[in-house]
Structure 1
Amino acid sequence: FCSMEKEDLKVLNKGEEEEMELQGYRLCRWRLALVGLGVLCTGGFLLLVLYWMPEWCVKSTCTRTTARDAEVVLMRSTVGSK
């Protein structure tokens, strides 16, 4: 069972030129199964799309969690978002 734990957003190198946001994710079995079914139904096309868009892959197979409990992390540059 996948539950939504306390969401956590960490900032690395705060205030510096190379500042990044870090978000933690934990694998979710039912989401993995659903994506697997989608891959079978699309003849593998969904797998290709998720390969091209790794952020979509993580968000479709994992749930947000704290950075401490994360099995997968996404790091995003904050350059240009200020």
Structure 2
Amino acid sequence: MKTYYSAQDLPVIRKYFGINQEQMARIAGVTQAYISMIERQYVPLTHTLRDRLSARLNITPELLAEIKREQVVREEKIQHYLIN
């Protein structure tokens, strides 16, 4: 089963795995500049690159859902501390 995520998800995925753009680039077989351009949506996240990252990081649909849930929880905690 293929895992679908967008360029906007890449920073969240990187944070989950504790890797920076350079490390993700090495995993993906591209340059750090290219990862940066994808994250800033200057170039599209191709199906080929997404599939390569999914395979190499073992990103399943279930893991992606967990990563996104954790991001929402983090954002809610930040909002809670900013309000109080």
Which category describes the TM-score, using the shorter chain as reference length? under 0.3
Q: Which has the higher contact order (CA 8 A, sep 6+)?
A: 1
Larger radius of gyration between Structure 1 and Structure 2? 1
| More helix by percentage | 2
TM-score, normalisation: structure 2: 0.26
